[in-house]
Structure 1
């Protein structure tokens, strides 16, 4: 073992110019394997060159970090695995394209300028790491910049990005603007993928913080989109948010939420439609309502055909 270690140390100076980094300072096992494998060293140089070429405005910085700590790190010192991951990542970077999109029809107050590195996997949508500059329309000044590891931007029939669209079981808006917490200030959500139930849209939801004069990520509302069927609906009149969930074809839940005194999201009403009748003739409808801190429940059964043709 000592002899092998000695040989490795002797080889390091000879490999100091390999890869995209100084092999004389290789600190991890993966870096050492890259330096010791000419094919990997070449791929590493090519990958870093492609990354630097496309990383405009730091667009790919977080995405690249995630790749290094995720797919590449999972290979450990397996040379074949590393070669495969490097080739996949290189093809992804070389096949991608930077696109810029100005969205000025989502809000009367703000414009959203999106720079997105599109992986080019779909004709009807662009998807990839993105920066979003929020511009005050009145002053034309940038009030905030967001960096997201992934943004999904679907296009309508006119070829323009969908905005303010929360159609169930359909493509939804890349930017949806509304007063989500009913405090008199516009908030917005950015579609960051389709990783929800049944491949549904997911969002990062930002609420306007009056003290900081910034949009702040809200985990509760973001999670609401991740656990249900896409973007929630906003009932401004009743100051409620409504989400939809399902299990298979025949079980559906519609839940209404309000913000409590601590500005925390709380479920206040739920409609459960359960048509999992083995005979296929009935639907069991349960209504749950929160009254003075306690849930009140009522259940009725309806003929299946009559209920769904109301």
Structure 2
């Protein structure tokens, strides 16, 4: 009998030892918080987060969760840590979310955002009370962690993703204590691996206007670039060897693609020129210029000096499937 009682005592002791309530007291002169962790040995634990009024110890907000996570700083749990998008995020965030000059609360309610990331319930200050906001809460639930706030522009921004190659970035303004989108940009890596497809929506005169475009990410293409040079207004031409396929890419100053051609080319070794035809225009590429010919005119494009990378002579040593040598 004594052995049974002792075993029960040990189990209860372990259970009680794993539970802990942390006081959070670094964010306000008016309020303090508590974070209860049911099992401190687990990364994610059942628990709750609460906010109290100093002096009266009145409970103002309490949120329970099946998955609370926490980090200690010199043995303490701290509020207002927000390392976006994937870093530490505190259980209590105390700041102005709706740009009315009064601080509000975001309380961690689990790991309900993208990829099992932290999520929050948002409570807006109304006088001496805090009112739950479904609209702001959706921004802290449906994306990757808590949203970011730019007080200078009064813009709230969010990010979400799917896998390695699709991201969405959104911007919101606030009206009547409710956020509304002003810009939504979705980017997705296409089959080339260094070209991204964009779907962008912008609020114009009260309506969202859509546009589609592509961008080139040339940062890791050093070994794949056959020839490249820059023109006026920061426009640039690239010839890229992509898995034995030659691509012609012409971009503007923001890396937006103005022309992408992945089809048939002709290479002249004697003249060291590369040519292709798009619609009714023939493009002839030299090591130091591009000539564009239509049925009625011819235009020569000279690059800016000292912007050239590579040479067409490299084509003679390659076997690219879409070039007629």
Structures share fold, TM-score greater than 0.5: yes
Q: 1-side partners of 2:94 and 2:56: how far apart? A: 19
| Aligned match of 1:105 | 26
Structure whose residues are more often helix by fraction = 1
Q: 1-side partners of 2:131 and 2:182: how far apart? A: 25
Is 1:129 the counterpart of 2:50? The answer is: no
Q: 2-side partners of 1:272 and 1:307: how far apart? A: 22
Counting only pairs closer than 5 Å after superposition, residues 135-284 of structure 1 correspond to structure 2 as: 135-136=53-54, 140-150=55-65, 152-156=68-72, 158-167=74-83, 168-210=85-127, 213-260=128-175, 262-275=176-189, 277-284=190-197
Instruction: Give 1:144 deviation, angstroms.
Output: 3.6
- Write out per-residue CA displacement over residues 9-54 of structure 1, whole angstroms, 9 at most, x where no aligned residue: xxxxxxxxxxxxxxxxxxxxxxxxxxxxxxxxxxxxxxxxx9xxxx
Instruction: Give 1:249 deviation, angstroms.
Output: 0.6
Answer yes or no: is the 8 Å Cα contact 1:166–1:230 preserved in 2. Answer: no
1:163 counterpart SS class: coil
| Aligned match of 2:315 | none
Structure whose residues are more often strand by fraction = 2
Aligned counterpart for 2:204 among listed residues 275, 288, 291: 291
Answer yes or no: is the 8 Å Cα contact 1:162–1:172 preserved in 2. Answer: no
Change (3 A) 1:300 1:248: same
Change (3 A) 1:268 1:307: farther
Q: TM-score, normalised by structure 1?
A: 0.59
Change (3 A) 1:96 1:204: farther
Change (3 A) 1:296 1:114: same
Is 1:120 the counterpart of 2:40? The answer is: yes
- Write out per-residue CA displacement over residues 110-136 of structure 1, whole angstroms, 9 at most, x where no aligned residue: 3323151422342xx574333524234
| Length, aligned pairs only | 211
1:221 counterpart SS class: helix
The gaps in structure 2 that reach 5 residues or longer are 1-7, 223-254, 256-325
Is 1:300 the counterpart of 2:208? The answer is: no
1:141 counterpart SS class: coil
Q: 2-side partners of 1:302 and 1:284: how far apart? A: 7
Q: 2-side partners of 1:249 and 1:135: how far apart? A: 44
Q: 2-side partners of 1:100 and 1:156: how far apart? A: 12
- Write out per-residue CA displacement over residues 221-256 of structure 1, whole angstroms, 9 at most, x where no aligned residue: 222222100000111112221111111111111111
Q: 1-side partners of 2:23 and 2:221: how far apart? A: 42
Instruction: Give 1:181 deviation, angstroms.
Output: 0.8
Answer yes or no: is the 8 Å Cα contact 2:196–2:215 preserved in 1. Answer: yes
Q: TM-score, normalised by structure 2?
A: 0.57
The gaps in structure 1 that reach 5 residues or longer are 1-49, 51-89
